[in-house]
Each structure stands twice: as C-alpha cells, then as structure tokens.
Amino acid sequence: MTEKQNDNYIRALLDGLDAKGDSLSEATALCGFSASDNEFQYLHSIVGRVGGEGNRINRTFLPQLLSLDPQDIFAQAEPQGTTESWKEDAAGALNALNASIQDSSGYRYSLYHFLHAYGARVAYGKRGQALDASWFDRNRVLAAVASCLNRNEGKAAFLILKGAISGIQKYIYHNIKAEQIGDAVKASKKLRGRSFLVAFINQVIAESIVEELGLEQANILFVGGGHFTLLLPNNGELTEKLNALLKKINLGLLDEVGPQLSLLTACVKCEGNIGQNFSENYKKVHRKLEDTKQRRYHTYLTEVFEHFEKLEDVQNTRQENEEIRLGQLAPYARYILEVGGRKEALTGLMYKVREDYYPAITCLSFLGKHFYIIKEKQQNNNEDEQELRKELYDFLGANKADFQQLEHLKIIALNNPDLLETVDTFSSLGLDIAYGFRFVGNYAPIYIDDSKFTPPAKNGNVMLFEDLAKLDVDKEPTLTHDQLGVMRLDVDDLGVIFAHGLGKKEENTMERLLSLSREFQLFFGGYFNKLAEAHHLYVTYSGGDDAFVIGSWLNTIHFADTLNKEFQRFTCGNRQVSFSAGIFICNPHYPIPRLAKDGERVEKAAKHYPAEEEKKEDKKKNALHLFQHTLPWADFKEMIVFEEKLSKVLPKGESAEGRKIRRSMLRRFLRIIQSSRGQTFERYRVIASLHGLLARHGYGQGEMQKAVLDEAGELIKELLQKASSEQEEGQKEFDHYTIPLHMALYKTKSK
C-alpha cells in the first residue's frame, strides 16, 4: 500500500475494495456503519422504496460502470451479472488509475470521481440486508467524516452548511427582449448561456469552498437544484476563514455576474452519530436558511453599496457578450477545462487559450479559476470523441511549459462517467491533471439540413424557435400548425419525501438521503437530456428535481408522455413518487420572459390538481396541465392513444373521405367541452343538437347502436357516451378529450 493510500481519506473512499485498517474505526462509528462482515451486494432502487416498509418495491441494479444507458438508470427484477465480476472490473480499473496518476496532486479528486463511476450501482454491507444506499454514497460519507477528523485533529465536531443561489429565475430572464429583427436569436443565446452558467455555478462555488478550507471533494454532500450541502469540521479558525470566503464570493458575484444572483448560507452544529442524526440536522439548517433570505449581505452592507456604485454599462455589455457566447457554445460542450493559479502565471496562457483556442467563462475568475469549454464541431454528428480528446491533447502538449506553472488543472467530462477513457488519453503528457465528470442538461436541436429551412438557418447552428416549432416527430419541418410547446415540471412534495419518505427516523441515514438525491440528479441532470434529444427539445435547464424544455407543440406533448413512462420505470412504479408538469402552447415569437412566466403558471395549475375539496390520499398532484385543462397522468396516457386513432380517421382540411370524421365535428365537440364545464343542463342541450349533426353524417341513433361500427363510429360513440354521462366523474372524463381534439385539429390543419 502506497503512502497516499495510507491517508485515511483515501482509505475511506476505497473501503471494501482495497484499503483496510483500524484507523477508520472512529469515522465508521460516527457514521453508524458496521465495521466488519461487510461484502458487496446487489443495490436496490432507493426511489422504489420511498414510502416506508409497506411500500417497498425490491428491484436491483446491474453492478457495473455508471452510464446514461437505460440498464443503468432503471432497476430490474432480475439483473444479470454478479458483484464478483464487478469487483474484478473495478479493481482492474483502480490499478489502471493508480498506474497513471497516483503520484499527482489531482489523484484525490480523480479517485472520488472514480468511486462515483464504479460505485454508484453496487451496495456494500452485511449479508442478508436489502441495501439501497450505494457503495459510493456510503464511502463518500465515511470519507467526508474522515476528512473532517483529519482537519480537526480527531475532534468529532461538525458543521452542516447549506448554500443556495438566490435570484436564479430573476437572473435568467431579466433584460431579455426580442423587439427588433435579429434580437430573438440573441435572446435565445442569452437564455441558454445564463441557464448553463446557473447549472454550473453551484458546483464551482461548492468546490471552491472546500478547496479553500483544505478539505476534499467528498465534503460536498449534494449539489443540484440551486442548492449545495457541505459537511465541514467545526473549529473557530475554519469558521472565520469560511465567513471571509463567503463574503468574497458574494462580492464577486455582484461585480462579475450582477446583482440578481447572491449566495445565501446557513450552518448548524452537529455532534455524535452524524449518520443517524443527519436528517434532523438537515431540517434545522434548511429552516435556518429560509430565515436568511430576507437578510442577504447583512454583515457587509456598506461594501455592497460601494460595489453597486462601481457597476457600469461597460461591465454589463461585457457580461452580455459572455452570456451570448456561452449560450452559443453550451449545446456543443463535451469537456470543461478548469485552470487555476497566480494571476501572473495565468495571464499569458489564458490570453492564448481565449483568443486562439477555447472560449472562456470569465465571469467566475474572482474564484481564482478560469473555465474553458471544449466543444465538438457540430452537436450530435457522431464526431469521434477520441479525435476531440486528441485535439485537446495536442494543445496541452504544445503549451506544456505554461500549464506546468499552474496551481491546478482539471479536465471534466460532461455526461460521460467513463473516467479511464479521459485518463488514458492525457496521462502520458506528464501534466498534473485532475479528472472528473458531471451530468448536465445542455441539449438543443441544431440544423442538419438547412436547405429545408429559410435563412438565417445554417448547418451546425442551434435551431431558431420559429423552425423548432415546425418539427414533427421525425425531426422534419412538416407541421402546419407551427407553435411552440413550453413545458415546466418538478417532482411532487420532494421535501416531504426527504423528510419522511425513507421510513422511521433511524432509517433516514445520511448515506440513504444522499443516495436518493443523487438518483434524482442522475435522472433529471443526465438521462433527461437524452430523452430531450430523442424528442428534439431545447433544454433550458434540467437537474435536481425540476426542468424546463421548449419544442414544437407536438414533440413537447409526446415528450411529456414518454417522460412520465420513463419516470415510472425510474421509480419502479412507486405511487409515492410523482411529478407534475404544465405545457403552454404559444407562437414562436412569444416574448421569452412572458414565456417563462406562463410556463410557471401552467405548472402551478398541475400542482393544484385536484381542487382542495376533491383531494384524496391516492390522488394528489401527479398531473399535467395542457390546453387549459388539468388531468392525471394515467388519463393523459389514454387521451394520447385516443388521439392517435382519431388522427387516422380525420382527413386534412375540410374534405371527408367516406365515413371519416369532419374537422368541423371535432370543433363542435370542443365547443361542448368549453362552454358547458360544470353546467349539466347546457351540456345536455348542445349534445341534443349534436345528435342531429351526427345523423346527417351517417351516425344516427340507430346506427350508433349497431354491434359493429367503423373506426370513426367507435370513436364518436366513445365521445358521446362520455359527454352524456350522468355521473360527475364521467363528465370530468369527457373534459379530458379537449386534449386529443386539439391535437387532432392541429395535426390535420391545412397549410
């Protein structure tokens, strides 16, 4: 065992695979872990077990390297593979990592990400236990405690710090206008650039804090959804340094990003068995953070006012240009190059990088770091990633002497956890590089065949909203009703899930809560991006437990149906975990700030389903709002099936072939729904007149009673039965048909 592996932090990361020893006994006890008789086992889905003992769904993951493939995202009833074969693969990969970079200062950072990649789909504990916290989550808790003990000279006193970036929505949408020709393109880039920065900034700030305090990556317990949580040692020297650092970050955000964003933080002290007490302490720090929202900058207001006076238009122009550039690059980002060091060491090299090679995220330079996007030439053109890495390899090699002067150099892969691929490429350079990966939602449709669109469409560029609105399910610009679908969503009652969803107090252990939060981040931060790509949607943001996407109205609706199905697979069909979403249909030139507000409005409508007086225990939220109507996901699925049948028998335009349904008839059904909601007498009156119309089209009362009807007749019969229902529930179900009726009319609209 090497000197590095004798370090308790590294011992903790590798506990079970490589490192053993009594030196971890105190950390193990503080975490509430068993110290012996542990072995690798199948990992059970923790999302499937939310809801307590009586609701547990026992599905397990295939033990292997983490990826965004469905077999890694979704637990299975009977997974193939064994933990023994996984252990051999993981040990071999660890040996390869050690051989390549064990002597570098970036080894600790890289090892943490190695543990994430190889340890997120296997459990470690006593035989016979149904374990649902991964080996990665167990060991990173152990490593975080070991890191605090190292820094605190063995004293078991800790701080839980929760941070939140305040003003995210205000920052993303402020001062975005599209009133002049060409401004829409600029506005969409600014929106995308700000969203990418917000998704990126939490992790950067969290890493900067632990690095400045001499701590480790494992001390970052959670990052996502605008929040981060850290485990820190509790001592006076560190607390004083922390306060100065938080002040520096807030003033830096004010100067470089603007007054919209600020960092709010709160701390609570915790002692004893931190693993068992984590849930209660987390609730305390959350409440404390909520209390600080009205008191940002309260300890250094004078300096804040001085910084406000220095804000000038020239800075705003520079910031706007960076946001536009970042928005243009974000969909093509494959790696982030992070460099840090003394200003004099950075100046010449960074000028060369910025001007000659990779554009930078300069607004975070107040942290002593610069970030560069390593992008593919054209998104999703199947460009060989090995070729992309070779291009970066040549650049680093050509400027090796300059990079050797830096304090640190990181290469962070986006949406690719296979760390060894990256290590294998760059380790021969002899540079001290730290390697990591992150999941980020950054997909945006691009032009592949610009001949199908009008200028300024250009192959390789991100698609304009007006062209995005024309895309059908095959990514062809065939939709005659060219409108956008704007979808916002988030998980229902996530706070309740974390507070009470894992069972009794003693079951709400630190590693289980972290496993649960990481799984949501994996789904919404990583897999969600793949689903958006398959449906040609523009990801404004996604991660943690919420998302915001834009696409054609048709693709957005089909995406909602697919996402619900995939989310149910993700939760193993657990009814205790759901999400609600709203879809807003609008013109592609709709103002972006209003678009965001209306997206929020329809999401709230779904969140309030059903009305308070109608709520039942098994029917809360878990709904979609679309076409000014809210319905549960199960009913939405039925409406999608009905629409597919309806569109087949509905000719384009007003002509009819044989006994196909006319569009005018569907509009009549829509008017019934819209004019008679909650008015039984009015509904019966218009239905009576509708029977006369149907009789003239060959669907009279007698014919509707025939044993055999044509396909169109079967659909009309279903509509009439729902419309004529005397039961309140049946009348509400008839209102659901506003969705397939609208969709069928939109799809068959004449150009």
Contact present, 166 and 262 (Cβ < 8 Å): yes
Strand order of the β-sheet with 629-632 is 538-543, 546-552, 484-491, 579-586, 623-626, 629-632
Question: How far is the C-alpha of 114 from the C-alpha of 108, rounded, in Å?
Answer: 10
Please report, for residues 71, 205, 252, 352, 357, the alpha-carbon distance to residue 360 in angstroms, rounded to integers and kept in the order given: 36, 17, 17, 11, 10
Give 111: exposed, middle or buried? Use CB within 10 Å, 0-12, 13-18, 19+. Answer: buried
Question: How far is the C-alpha of 24 from the C-alpha of 644, rounded, in Å?
Answer: 60
pLDDT at 379: 52
Reduced to 3 states, what is the DSSP secondary structure of residue 343?
Answer: helix
Question: Does residue 261 carry a pLDDT above 60?
Answer: yes
Residue where the block lists tokens 């149906």: 561
Question: How far is the C-alpha of 558 from the C-alpha of 637, rounded, in Å?
Answer: 10
Residue where the block lists tokens 């069909």: 573
Question: Does residue 299 carry a pLDDT above 90?
Answer: no
According to DSSP, the β-strands at 408-414 and 434-438 are parallel
Consecutive H or E run containing 224: strand 220-224
Question: Does residue 296 carry a pLDDT above 90?
Answer: no
Contact present, 479 and 472 (Cβ < 8 Å): yes
Which residue type occupies 693? L
Q: How confident is the model at residue 521 (pLDDT cuts 50, 70, 90)?
A: very high
pLDDT at 613: 46
Question: Does residue 703 carry a pLDDT above 70?
Answer: no
Question: Does residue 738 carry a pLDDT above 90?
Answer: yes
Query: What is the average per-residue pLDDT within 103-112?
Result: 92
Contact present, 447 and 380 (Cβ < 8 Å): no
Residue 249: DSSP 8-state: H
Contact present, 263 and 253 (Cβ < 8 Å): yes
Of 169, 165, 229, nearest in space to 201 by CA: 165
Residue where the block lists tokens 């956008």: 484
The number of angstroms, rounded, from the C-alpha of 534 to the middle of its chain's C-alpha atoms is 16
Q: How confident is the model at residue 390 (pLDDT cuts 50, 70, 90)?
A: confident
CB half-sphere exposure, 494, CA atoms < 13 A:
15
**What residues does 164 pair with on adjacent strands?**
227, 264
pLDDT tens-place string over residues 177-226: 654 434 667 777 888 888 888 888 889 999 999 999 999 999 999 988 78
Which residue type occupies 170? K
Which residue type occupies 496? V
Backbone angles phi and psi of 203, in degrees to 5: -65, -40
Can you point out the beta strands (E) in 81-210? 123-126, 157-166
Question: How far is the C-alpha of 323 from the C-alpha of 525, rounded, in Å?
Answer: 21
Of 707, 706, 737, 708, nearest in space to 720 by CA: 737
The chain-wide mean pLDDT, for the chain, equals 83
**What residues does 462 pair with on adjacent strands?**
446
Contact present, 35 and 125 (Cβ < 8 Å): no
Query: What is the average per-residue pLDDT within 630-634?
Result: 94
Query: What is the average per-residue pLDDT within 721-734?
Result: 70
pLDDT at 294: 65
Query: What is the average per-residue pLDDT within 38-48?
Result: 92
pLDDT at 1: 39
Question: How far is the C-alpha of 667 from the C-alpha of 317, rounded, in Å?
Answer: 50
Structural domains present in the chain: 4-139 (no CATH), 450-631 (3.30.70.270), 639-747 (no CATH)
Contact present, 739 and 643 (Cβ < 8 Å): yes
Query: What is the average per-residue pLDDT within 449-460?
Result: 87
Q: Which of 240-254, 599-613, 677-691 has the lowest mean pLDDT?
A: 677-691
Question: How far is the C-alpha of 517 from the C-alpha of 313, rounded, in Å?
Answer: 41
Residue 661: DSSP 8-state: P
Query: What is the average per-residue pLDDT within 237-252?
Result: 88
Please report, for residues 59, 230, 442, 491, 528, the alpha-carbon distance to residue 524 in angstroms, rounded to integers and kept in the order given: 20, 22, 12, 10, 5
Percent of the chain past pLDDT 90, that is, above it, reads 40
Question: Does residue 730 carry a pLDDT above 80?
Answer: no
Which residue type occupies 575? R
**What residues does 677 pair with on adjacent strands?**
none
pLDDT tens-place string over residues 327-348: 888 888 889 989 886 666 666 6
Cis-peptide into 359, omega within 30 deg: no
pLDDT at 708: 43
Give first-to-last CA distance, the chain, whole Å.
72
Query: What is the average per-residue pLDDT within 358-365?
Result: 75
pLDDT at 297: 61
Question: How far is the C-alpha of 396 from the C-alpha of 398, rounded, in Å?
Answer: 6
Contact present, 409 and 338 (Cβ < 8 Å): yes
pLDDT tens-place string over residues 417-431: 999 989 999 999 989
Backbone angles phi and psi of 267, in degrees to 5: -130, 150
Which residues, including other chains, have CB under 8 Å from residue 566's CB and lie 6 or more apart? 527, 531
pLDDT at 4: 53
Angle at 324 between CA 375 and CA 545, to 5 degrees: 75
**What residues does 485 pair with on adjacent strands?**
551, 585
Of 457, 497, 461, nearest in space to 477 by CA: 457
Token duo for residue 460: 């390789």
**What residues does 223 pair with on adjacent strands?**
228
Strand order of the β-sheet with 220-224 is 220-224, 227-233, 157-166, 262-271
Can you give the length of the chain in residues? 751
